[in-house]
Amino acid sequence: MRALIAAVLLLSMVVAVPSPAPTTPAQAVWVSQDRLVWHAPTAAVGSYRLRTSAGDLPLTPDPAGLPPELAHKFPNLRGEPTFRVPTGSVDQALRGQLAVQQLAGGVVVAGAGVQTAGVLDDRYAAAATKLAYGPVFGPHGVTLRVWAPTANSVRLKLIGEDRPREMRRDNASGSWSITGPDSWRDRYYLYEVTDWRRTTTVTDPYSVALSMDSTYSQIADLDQPRTMPEGWREEIAHGLGDNPTRHAITELHLRDFSVSDPTVPQADQGTYLAFTHRDSAGMRHLRELAQAGMDTVHLQPTFDLSSVPEDPANQQVPRCRLPELPSNSPAQQECVGWVVASDAYNWGYDPWHYTVPEGSYATAGARSGWGRSEQYRQMVQALHANGDKVVVDVVYNHTPASGDAPHSVLDRIVPGYYQRLLPNGSVADSTCCANTAPENAMMGKLVVDSVVSWVRLYKVDGFRFDMMGHHPKANILAVRAALDALTPQRDGVDGRAIRIYGEGWDSGEVAGGARFVQATQANLAGTGIGTFNDRIRDAVRGGRPTDADPRVQGLGSGLAGDLNGDPVNEGRGARLADYGDLVRLGMAGNLGAYRFRSTRGATVSGHEIGYNGVPAGYAAIPQEAVNYVDAHDNETLYDALTYKLPRATSMADRVRMQQLALAPVLLGQGQPFVLAGTEFLRSKSFDPNSYDSGDWFNRYDPTLATSTFGAGLPLAKDKWAHSAPLLADRALKPSTSDMRAALAATLRLLRIRQSSALFTLDDPALVQAKVSFPDPRAAPGVLVEYLDDTAGPRVDPGHSGLLVVLNPRPQPQSVAVPGDARWRPHEDQDGSGLVFGADRVRVPARSVVVLAR
């Protein structure tokens, strides 16, 4: 069906106007109505012109270069040759083909196409950003509006009508609109956009509902009661409050959650409605986690995505007996690989329509139109009733395609605007796919509008931004401001409490502030917006997830006295010391200003600790650090430790090391984040990038009936030499009792965290006063965290102090305890194996110990 749709869409595109002149790629950048930047490839001789369908415009070199305000807006163009453009005919020029040319003696010696995002913003954004787009219902019917300033005409195609309806252009904003009667409600539609080169039919980028497989947009009114479950108007999104560190997060893929859960009716498995079965194994498990403090469910992308056929009849399944194949065989991956393009599984980081729920997660009868919205609301309502907050994963940094490809929407309406272009005019793809450009006003507006819609329409409690460093900081702050304006009384949302966090990596063509101030880890300090803390991840696991050798050990994987024999771990002393400091800093909220005594003896601040050439400490307040040791990306924690621990390590000790690796996240300051299932040793059989590996490699089983370790060789063939012998080792497959032991230990850590506000300080001054790490020169790798509630104002009426001891070593260790000898095991701590002395305590091997007084 998708192939047919693609063919129909491609056939609708026709060339409308011949090229005014041969051009090279779009290397010129028209930045404002009166300035253009072009580094002509020949010497500065002769004359220059801007060729347009409405006539030629002379270009005058400006030796002063870009004015300061434009140089600030386009730092990547600072110092480039600049030309003045005559004003007054911009509108007509922008609706035709453009080229710049250099002439010598009347002969064209150089030419280029033109990038227009800057001038489009300069000309139209002030008016365009004030308008509402998509279907807007009012007392006199419904208005549809789309921003298409480069179009020569836009027509509305109501499905079922023979002739499209003309839309009216607003010259101030560059938008096109049409108002129709209330009878248009629930009708399906497309836009027919004609520009200088072709006519294309396309869905609405501001769609709120779609037909199955996103063939058409729907004029849906989601404020109507019929689209809501009972009690929805009374539902409130309370967010994560003013201190999100009190809420631990579990990251969950919606289909993983229930597709193989026998306690969910078969028709609802893998769908939104699975969450409405309160007594299913999955919901009982989430409830148990929530009661212990892991009360925030982070859902991987649930917007409309392009990689999964929404009609089950078009979804393929593996045609082999996966469980019968050897545990270290490539056959499973090969069998899954035959259907990856058309099966029911994908992580979903391929956004097609940003503000519509994905149809493949809806049940039969709800995949077309607003039915999927009703079911999404039922899911959120059920999770809230279960004691869970709901965070949704959003991916505004790229689209699955650009240009006139069938899965391209934005670029087919305003070509070259919504996607970020490289100097040669091609679309950047450093985030994986066709990058978007939220630095451009209308793409930035789309991000803000979409986020606000998700909160208002679906009452979610927070957002995780994929590749957030590819957004300008200003764009994320605009999202924050828009959320802050929402109120429970007017919007059903406590906007100020809605959580924002994301991947604050500094990468790609925007790295180092090349195009704007990015929403990266260091740049977001002081905003309250969280970013993932890779420092504590690497120090606990060892190495980096991208290492060619997966056996690099860390503080939680055997580097402290439990070496695996790989030469990469020889001479480990300096690395062990550095890792110890990174873990201590992470447990103090990864604060840049936090001062503590390092492993090497000197008192340092977080800013002075290094991490891959940059300061390790970057947060201003603890909630800005999202601490984690595993996520959907890269190997699960159990798989990583299986690579890294000595192969002879017993399963009981593997369970203990899993808890040691989780403890810095769950017992430190900052917000804890854990991949769903890590609490019971979830495995993906070493698959580091299971985005398209199907249900088989991504299995999630909270019934703990069987471990998913040994599902076959992983996607990353370059690690097969390491993974194959391990997958064949039956001793490495956890039993049900092993998984139950791991779950019980994780719940214990969560309850300990929940028992005291000393673990969730969100004031940097309180962290500095109350959190310390006595005697960092204890046995290498052993870590002692002291939470002193006698310093500063009291926050825990039940404890005057807490002591956390992490002993990753394979032998018991004696550590000094601060103060007098009134320490006792925490009420949730098993005291067996502890030996107290006058000023010391002996803790068991491979143990996490929490003492209280």
Catalytic residues, by residue number, are: 466, 503
Exposed e or buried b per residue across 788-811, where buried means at least 16 C-beta atoms within 10 angstroms of its C-beta: bbeeeeebbeebbbbbbbbbbbbe
**Token representation of residue 715:** 């996607």
Q: At what angle do helices 637-644 and 534-541 cross, to 10 degrees?
A: 40
**Token representation of residue 94:** 């922008």
Sheet containing 47-52: order of strands? 107-112, 98-104, 47-52, 55-61, 82-84, 35-37, 28-32, 114-115
Burial of residue 236 (number of CB atoms within 10 Å: 0-12, 13-18, 19+) = middle
- Report the C-alpha gap between 56 and 84 in whole angstroms: 14
Tokens 């002769």 locate to 46
**Token representation of residue 831:** 């005291």
Question: Nearest CA to 477 among 447, 513, 511?
Answer: 447
Instruction: Decide: helix, strand or coil at residue 425.
Output: coil
Q: How many CB atoms lie within 10 A of CB 435?
A: 25
Kindly calculate the radius of gyration of the chain based on its CA atoms and give it in whole angstroms.
Answer: 29
Question: Nearest CA to 250 among 295, 291, 280, 301?
Answer: 295
β-pairing verdict for 141-147 and 134-138: antiparallel
CA separation, residue 177 to residues 183, 288, 330, 589, 850 (Å): 17, 50, 55, 49, 63
β-sheet bridge partners, residue 178: 144
β-sheet bridge partners, residue 463: 392, 500
Please provide residue 361's backbone torsions phi and psi, each rounded to the nearest 5 degrees: -90, 0
Contacts (Cβ under 8 Å, ≥6 apart) of 396: 351, 354, 436, 438, 446, 447, 450, 465, 466, 471
- Residue 194 contacts residue 152 (beta carbons within 8 Å): yes
- Residue 841 contacts residue 817 (beta carbons within 8 Å): yes
State the amino acid at position 100 in one-letter form.
V
Exposed e or buried b per residue across 555-571, where buried means at least 16 C-beta atoms within 10 angstroms of its C-beta: bbbbbbbbbbebebbee
What string of DSSP letters covers 97-151? -EEEEEEETTEEEEEE-EE-HHHHIIIIIHHHTTS--EEEEETTEEEEEEE-TT-
- Residue 472 contacts residue 439 (beta carbons within 8 Å): yes
- Report the C-alpha gap between 540 and 640 in whole angstroms: 11
- Report the C-alpha gap between 42 and 321 in whole angstroms: 64
| E strands present in 313-404 | 351-357, 389-394, 398-399
Question: Nearest CA to 587 among 617, 564, 562, 552?
Answer: 617
Contacts (Cβ under 8 Å, ≥6 apart) of 138: none
β-sheet bridge partners, residue 296: 249, 389
What string of DSSP letters covers 73-91? H-GGGTTS-EEE---S-HH
Q: How many CB atoms lie within 10 A of CB 313?
A: 6
The rounded Cα 31 to chain-centroid distance in angstroms is: 31
CA separation, residue 14 to residues 9, 54, 197, 301 (Å): 11, 20, 7, 35
Q: What DSSP element (H or E) covers 94?
A: helix 90-94
